[in-house]
Structure 1
């Protein structure tokens, strides 16, 4: 029991498995309740799996199911995750993909005559929520997620934007297979999916934090111990009202770190002034939080 507890603390096992299970339910519901009845394609590898499923139904004597192709198309990308991102990350990605494939197979499509706009909106929202939650817990849903993370690490481009750009080919495929009206709805669900992912998965968003304090060293120690962030120190600042000498600290963090830095500042100096603003781009030496 003690060994299991240590394993869970070290690898954050239960939250990651919970996130993987939540994603598998989300993608299965989005696919079988909204995208398949609405005759539209989803984003990423799931969309390519749908496309192969449609083509096999039309032109082959046998059917390649979406759940089967979702797993098969992810296998080469497991290697990318293993070599470019991290081993533990890849272990959980494989688990997530397997769970997703199983749920896609077990949860069957339902015959609902919903407006395609409803299918596009709800399918994109549900899948985006599941994907964003998985990424926020340090696991990938496979496919485009892996490619998106690698590109984000190299360029700083947000995951959702990468997702949208890569999926343009799926929109074109939807147009040729289902007609351009359905291509529009596929584009809409992909866009919503990407925006929801960005709303949930906020680690890539950079924030500039400026702290005016009388106790700079305690704040510096807390930030460097907890987040390992660089800090610029501006000495001899003076308050216009009190004329008390202050120190200004400036640092860049991930939005994901906001809760931690707020607690550090409050604990070190309850009377500190802190200003936070979102940065569009960060150039120079900024270390991304590692995914292992």
Structure 2
């Protein structure tokens, strides 16, 4: 059922991406970044629909992702690219508003939210999403920011083929898309986790069995009660917090837990 749910979510989100492109971005020739942006340029300059260009240009990048990110990820990505391409064939290119700035903002928000959901469900919309996901396995940087940096070249391409004003709208759109992606895909955010518990051994075993993180355990004592406690410290990624919460509550519902955002992590820390 988890796989079925994941595929269904990717299916719906991919249609939303196609909707954002055809209803908000393409009618005003406001492009998106990377390979999809190039496909939009080709779609606007040739009689071939943008959906076909998206599929064709993504083939070599999907091969790279197959080698670096695994079969399941690329299978989901191919499915997403296919659904987006097909949806763009059937969703009419009709503007909701005549204001290109509003279209850039709302198109960026909707596309970013949908792409973020797809990535969280172990897929992508192809193009520079795949390249960025390969790169963040080596560099611990925000995914949306990296996608924005890689996609910025499309701004210059769109400026040469269309008005530079539209190129600036494009920059605004892909910047907003990147911000929204980072709100959803938060793996680059690291959290410091400190747990004070009277059931240290049991909780330690439970965390080690389910969490791929090192844990430092220290002896402590309650200042008022004088009771001996265990103090556990580790650093986790933001999505892992949803896994840790029920693990702690299951073993010791009365444990004291402190969570704070970490600025930087150095040393032996698993980043993928």
Q: 1:241: how far off?
A: 2.8
Matched, 1:254 2:237: yes
1:179 has 2:169 as partner: no
Secondary structure at the aligned position of 1:153 is classed as coil
Which residue does 2:19 correspond to in 1?
29
- Indicate if the aligned counterparts of 1:213 and 1:272 stay in contact, CA closer than 8 A: yes
Deviation of the 1:281 alpha carbon: 2.7
Go from structure 1 to structure 2 and tell me whether the alpha carbon gap of 1:191 and 1:111 turns closer, same or farther (over 3 Å shift): closer
Partner residue in 1 for 2:39: 49
What secondary structure does 1:274 align onto? strand
Deviations 1:217-272 (A, max 9, x none): 1221221122232101122x223333322221111112112122111212222221
Distance in 2, matches of 1:285 and 1:87, equals 28
Match of 1:97 in 2: 81
Q: Which of 236, 248, 258 is equivalent to 1:265?
A: 248
User: Superposed, which structure 2 residues align to 1:1-292 within 5 Å?
Assistant: 8=1, 12-56=2-46, 63-235=47-219, 237-289=220-272
Deviation at 1:79, TM superposition (A): 1.0
Aligned partners of 1:177 and 1:281: how far apart in 2?
42
SS in 2 for 1:36: helix
Question: Retained in 2: the 8 A contact 1:74–1:143?
Answer: yes
Partners of 1:49 and 1:272 in 2: how far apart? 53
Cα distance in structure 2, aligned partners of 1:194 and 1:28: 17
Contact 1:16 1:139 in 2 (8 A): no
In structure 1, stretches of 5+ residues that fail to align are 1-7, 57-62
CA contact (8 A) 1:171 1:184 kept: yes
Quote the Cα distance in structure 1 between the aligned partners of 2:62 and 2:29.
29
- The farther-off stretch of 226-235 and 150-159 is 226-235
Contact 2:128/2:147 (<8 A) preserved: yes
- Runs of 4 or more above 4 Å deviation: none
CA displacement at 1:160 relative to structure 2: 0.4
C-alpha separation in 2, matches of 1:253 and 1:78: 30
CA distance in 2: counterparts of 1:112 and 1:196, whole angstroms: 21
Counterpart CA distance in 2 for 1:114 and 1:226 is 52
Deviations 1:75-121 (A, max 9, x none): 00111111111011111111111111101111120144421111011
Alpha-carbon distance in structure 1 between the residues aligned to 2:176 and 2:96: 21
TM-score (norm 1): 0.88
Supply the distance in 2 between the matched residues of 1:157 and 1:195 (Cα, whole angstroms): 13
CA distance in 2, matches of 1:125, 1:175: 22
Q: Which runs of 5+ in 2 are unaligned?
A: none
How many residues matched? 272
